[in-house]
């Protein structure tokens, strides 16, 4: 019985954390908005313990701030924070794929790396769901539909991160991705034409991955990062 109870509580803790994260990503919980454990527990009709644990987890992920006297509040990222996220993911992804590219022995075909193929060479059935998520993300981006885009975008990048063969890197990149969306959502929802700033290169990246071409992957990622930094510059100009 104790083991079963622990599993139930941990599952509830994760469900609450996921639900609150979705509230932030949907813009229903705004940056700087404050709330208490009691308020969230009453909202979801659960006890305070799993709520407190879920909120602590979200603090560890950088999505919430804890105030000993006021409770919790949604973290407010700055434009400089966002630039830092873009730089961090650029350095990591670029470094990983360049390192894999450097492993190619002389005379090897594109994609061959010292007796093993680039992890992204996992083709066919393994990439079917990724391509589907890419197509849906592109469709949502072009329509300016944030609610649909965010879900598919997170799934897409989570799966792409798995091709790196290092779950520490994949988890870190996923966390950066969520934080970037938390920063972006309030600005995009208040923008009259958000689709102008929504990246839609998901399918291009899948094509590069299918080809197991690290240079093509890096080119897509570089274009994406440049797009993100142009948007950051746009936000700063708009605030002047």
pLDDT digits 0-9 by tens, 73-93: 999 999 999 999 999 988 887
DSSP string, 80-137: HHHHHHHHHHHHHHHHHHHHHHHTPPTTPPTTEETTEE-GGG--GGGGHHHHHHHHHH
DSSP state of 74: E
Claim to verify: residue 217 and residue 158 sit in the same structural domain? yes
| Domain end residue (candidates: 74, 100, 124) | 74
| Choice between 111 and 183, residue whose per-residue pLDDT is larger | 183
Token pair belonging to 101: 């590219």
Q: pLDDT at position 217, please?
A: 83
The pLDDT-based confidence of 165 (bands split at 50, 70, 90) is confident
Claim to verify: residue 208 and residue 153 sit in the same structural domain? yes
Token pair belonging to 54: 């879920």
Claim to verify: residue 173 and residue 67 sit in the same structural domain? no
Claim to verify: residue 58 and residue 167 sit in the same structural domain? no
In the predicted model, what is the mean pLDDT of residues 24-38?
93
Question: What is the rounded CA–CA span in Å between residue 226 and residue 87?
Answer: 10
Q: Which residue range is the domain that position 120 belongs to? A: 79-239
Length of the chain as a residue count: 240
Q: pLDDT at position 225, please?
A: 93
Contact yes or no for 79/64 (Cβ under 8 A): no
Q: What is the pLDDT of residues 107-145, one digit of tens each?
A: 445 444 443 444 444 445 667 788 999 999 999 999 999
């080809």: which residue's tokens? Answer: 211
| Number of domain units in the chain | 2
Claim to verify: residue 47 and residue 114 sit in the same structural domain? no
3-state secondary structure of 72: strand
């Amino acid at each position: 019985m104790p083991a079963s109870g622990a599993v139930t509580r941990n599952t509830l803790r994760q469900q609450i954390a996921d639900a609150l994260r979705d509230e932030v990503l949907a813009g229903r919980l705004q940056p700087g908005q404050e709330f208490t454990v009691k308020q969230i527990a009453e909202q979801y009709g659960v006890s305070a313990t799993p709520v407190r644990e879920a909120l602590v987890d979200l603090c560890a992920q950088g999505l919430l701030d804890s105030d000993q006297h006021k409770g919790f509040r949604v973290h407010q990222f700055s434009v400089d924070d966002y630039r830092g996220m873009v730089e961090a993911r650029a350095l990591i992804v670029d470094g990983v794929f360049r390192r894999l590219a450097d492993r190619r022995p002389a005379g090897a075909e594109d994609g061959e790396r010292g007796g093993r193929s680039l992890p992204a060479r996992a083709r066919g059935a393994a990439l079917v769901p990724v391509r589907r998520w890419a197509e849906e993300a592109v469709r949502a981006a072009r329509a300016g539909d944030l609610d649909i885009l965010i879900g598919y975008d997170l799934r897409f990048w989570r799966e792409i991160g798995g091709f790196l063969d290092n779950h520490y890197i994949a988890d870190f990149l996923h966390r950066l991705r969520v934080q970037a969306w938390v920063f972006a959502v309030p600005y995009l929802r208040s923008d009259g034409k958000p689709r102008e700033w929504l990246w839609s290169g998901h399918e291009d990246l899948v094509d590069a991955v299918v080809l197991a071409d690290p240079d093509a992957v890096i080119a897509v990622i570089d274009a994406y990062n440049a797009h993100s930094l142009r948007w950051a510059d746009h936000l700063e100009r708009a605030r002047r």
